[in-house]
Amino acid sequence: MTPILVKLWEIADFICGKRLVPLLADLIPQLERCGEIKLDKNKKKLLLKISPATVDRLLSKERRKYALKHRARTKPGTLLKHQIPIRTFSQWDELKPGFVEIDLVSHDGGDPHRDFIQTLVVTDVASGWTEIQAVINKAQIWVFSALKEIAQRTPFKILGIDSDNGSEFINHHLLRFCKENKITFTRSRPYRKNDNCYVEQKNYSVVRRSVGYARHDTKEELTLLNELYQSLRLYTNFFQPVMKLKEKTRLGSKVIKRYDTPATPYKRLLQSPHISRTIKSKLEEEYRSLNPALLRREMTGVQEELMKIAAEKRKKVTASPSAYMRLSHWGHLTDGAKKRMKQKAPSVSITPGTALGSVATVDLPLGRAKGTYNTEKNSPRNIR
């Protein structure tokens, strides 16, 4: 039974046993209907009765195979933020779908210079429904346009928006939009990430786990990311169960947390009395048309394309002498060090096709002086 359990676990994106077990009752019939798996009655019965602890025990060896052996890019908004109140939880009905948290995920690859792609993440507090869309940079016009597109495709009306204090959100465009559409617009306290805990969690579990930490800054990558997100949003909302905290009790130094039964955002919307029967019928129809295994294959295909582009960027080319001359003018190097550098031109490796601000790897004839250097600021980094 372990091989079929491993396959189901992989299709469910390697989630833990507590989340996987409640999903099996819906996932197995869906995969059988799509022709992805075939199970006899005994195996199916065993899978539907399996406990979370047994799942984690059977998958422990497989999980070890995948074991892996942050940066803040938010800039303060303008004085306009004084017109946008800090959110207090008494203002929001967190049991009613429509109150969302929003945030941006940066794809800078560790180099914050020049423009790079950002992913807008919008998460509903009540259901966990998450929408994602990539934008070419964090300019207000692109972020606001993406937010309007997301608002049109969510299966509920947006009633409230809570953001951080970044200028990409704290602006007149979004404030005017919220006033015109009677949307409650609030912001978190500065430097308090837990105020936006729902969307901060999705930044990793949805975006980072699917895209990683590489730098993406071209139109081709923007197209690929949004192609990936078309499948990812369906996969996340219809086939990824989430657990919500019910209560938290402190006993001395020990904190005991109790969660509700894991359920997908789709299931939570079906259970909500605030969603109309018409919308629920549309969601059920869309769910029946989806194949989670196919969605995984589509995502994997796009991810491989993104990895190829990232690999191409990392290919090393020999820099021109002018690059060496730029790198040889570091003010903090001694005259003796500069003289030894001129005896032999260093081997400089830079990302092909990128402008100033990229990271170059330089091998200098100075014994152990090897490191990575920023070609815009002409300053060494990580010299060992």
- Summarize pLDDT for 37-76 with one digit per residue, the tens: 999 989 999 999 999 999 999 999 998 887 765 455 555 5
Q: Are residues 264 and 321 in the same domain?
A: no
CATH number at residue 206: 3.30.420.10
182: left (phi over 0), alpha (psi -120 to 50) or beta: left
In a domain, 267, yes or no: yes
Q: Are residues 257 and 158 in the same domain?
A: yes
Q: Are residues 234 and 368 in the same domain?
A: no
Give the pLDDT of residue 113.
83
Q: Last residue of some domain: 297, 313, 329?
A: 313
In a domain, 222, yes or no: yes
Q: What does the alpha-carbon distance between residue 232 and residue 119 come to, in Å, rounded to a whole number?
A: 13
Q: Give the SS3 label for residue 170.
A: coil
Strands 118-124 and 130-135: antiparallel
In a domain, 148, yes or no: yes
Q: Are residues 328 and 308 in the same domain?
A: no
Low-confidence ranges of the chain (pLDDT < 70): 1, 68-93, 193, 316-384
* Contact yes or no for 185/169 (Cβ under 8 A): no
For 362, the domain range is 317-381
In a domain, 74, yes or no: no
Q: Are residues 12 and 143 in the same domain?
A: no
Q: Last residue of some domain: 294, 313, 332?
A: 313
Strands 317-318 and 254-259: unpaired
Q: Are residues 187 and 219 in the same domain?
A: yes
* Contact yes or no for 242/264 (Cβ under 8 A): yes
Burial class (CB within 10 angstroms; exposed 0-12, middle 13-18, buried 19+) of 304: exposed
In a domain, 71, yes or no: no
Q: Are residues 183 and 100 in the same domain?
A: yes
Under 8 Å CB-to-CB from 336, ≥6 apart: which residues? none
Query: In the chain, helix, strand, coil percent, each to 5?
Result: 45, 20, 35
Q: Are residues 109 and 188 in the same domain?
A: yes
Q: Are residues 52 and 140 in the same domain?
A: no
Q: Are residues 33 and 94 in the same domain?
A: no
Q: Last residue of some domain: 284, 313, 342?
A: 313
Q: Are residues 334 and 292 in the same domain?
A: no
Q: Are residues 283 and 328 in the same domain?
A: no
* Contact yes or no for 234/242 (Cβ under 8 A): no
Under 8 Å CB-to-CB from 181, ≥6 apart: which residues? 158
Give the pLDDT of residue 358.
42
| Residue 268 tokens, joined | 């939570």
In a domain, 73, yes or no: no
Total number of domains in the chain: 3
In a domain, 143, yes or no: yes
In a domain, 72, yes or no: no
Give the pLDDT of residue 202.
92
Burial class (CB within 10 angstroms; exposed 0-12, middle 13-18, buried 19+) of 264: buried
Give the pLDDT of residue 383.
36
